Amino acid sequence: MKILFDAQMFGWQNYGGATRYYSQLLSRLNNDPELRVVFPILFSDNRYIRDCSFAKHWRGAQELRFKGKMRAYRFANEIYDRKKMANTSFDILHPTYYDPYFLDYLKGRPYVVTVLDMIHELFPETLAKGQKRVRRWKEITIPKADVVVAISESTKRDLVKIYGLAPSKIHVIPLATDLSRNSGAGKSSLHLPARYILYVGSRAEGYKNFGALAEAFCHVSEKQRELYLLCVGGGPFSVSENRLFARLGISGKVAQIPANDEELSELYSRACALAYPSRYEGFGIPVLEAFACGCAVAASNSSSLPEVGDDACLYFDAGDTRQIAEKLEALLADENLRNNLVQKGYAQVRKFSWDGMAAKTKETYRTLISRTK
């Protein structure tokens, strides 16, 4: 089988859940002797493909910064992808994003699309101007796909409800993590407070519910003066976030930290708990990362999070700030509870693997080929 991927998402993300997923998938499929993977890409600053053999021709220039750089990368990659699609034989196309330009090059061949979340459909008010067109793309590419891969049962339910897809058309293939408690051992020089709650991910989107966590932390920190809230990812705090911290009186207790995987492992391992208040997640990789690093998790009971966390999380209602605070206080006060959740987390994370994800994806391709012959 020859599987052709395009470079779409690698022109949108320098790092993030989507390109981490595709990098893990491409690496494993590329090493499978039964498959031939074609991945045409010219330009990307994506951190996950720097050392990957599957991306043989890409070029990056992270040190260069100019307006429109990512857009220029996407334009050049699309031209290159179009050329490869027109001149390369392949059995299945697996685009890495939803721009439907590739439909002109299928010539009757099937394609698989992976849906990582339904944010564009469920939370359109949170989208940046440039992202609003993505929903229009999804409305074209998802219904026409021969197979839709969903990364959770929650995402599958949303696909059936919103797009009216037949459940049999949707293959649920969960994600995983390769982070571990020892990933950062002896490699990091982070100077961290003795006690802190960790938050991982972007914060700007309303559905991430970070404001509710800040308010809950305010209540908790009134009783635990030595406690901090450390945020990884999402960029520096915005003016509105700093105003919120000042209003809550926690400006000196909240910090934002950029971190690589080794540093992230240490941050999880040393945290009192991961707080994950999101109202919606297609999957929620930080929950698995915390499990793998021996970090107790308090998470919202919404969307895919109970599916991923099972009984290894302490759950709260994302809309109830007081309940978020109460759950965090319970974790901070009860060492036995934390240890119990950590042990359950170790067991839960073993249910997910990138190798298993790749194997299930390969089987999806095989089934599709047999069906279309």
Domains in the chain (CATH in brackets) are 2-176+353-372 (3.40.50.2000), 195-349 (3.40.50.2000)
Enumerate residue ranges in the chain where pLDDT < 50. Answer: 186
Rounded to 5 degrees, φ, ψ at 172 are -85, 115
- What's this model's pTM, rounded to 2 decimal places? 0.91
Give the model's pLDDT for residue 51. 63
pLDDT value at position 188? 58
CA distance 159 to 169: 10
At 291 the pLDDT is: 98
What was the pLDDT predicted at 183? 54
Could you tell me which of 328, 335, 298 has the C-alpha nearest to residue 313? 298
DSSP-derived 3-state class of residue 332: helix
pLDDT number for residue 373? 66
H-type alpha helices, the chain: 17-30, 69-87, 119-122, 132-144, 153-163, 210-223, 239-248, 261-270, 285-292, 305-309, 321-333, 335-349, 354-372
The sign of the dihedral angle between the CA atoms of 133, 134, 136, 141 is positive
| Nearest CA-CA partner of 211 in 242, 235, 236, 232 | 242
How far apart are the C-alpha atoms of 172 and 304, rounded to whole Å? 12
Q: What is the chain's Cα-based Rg?
A: 21
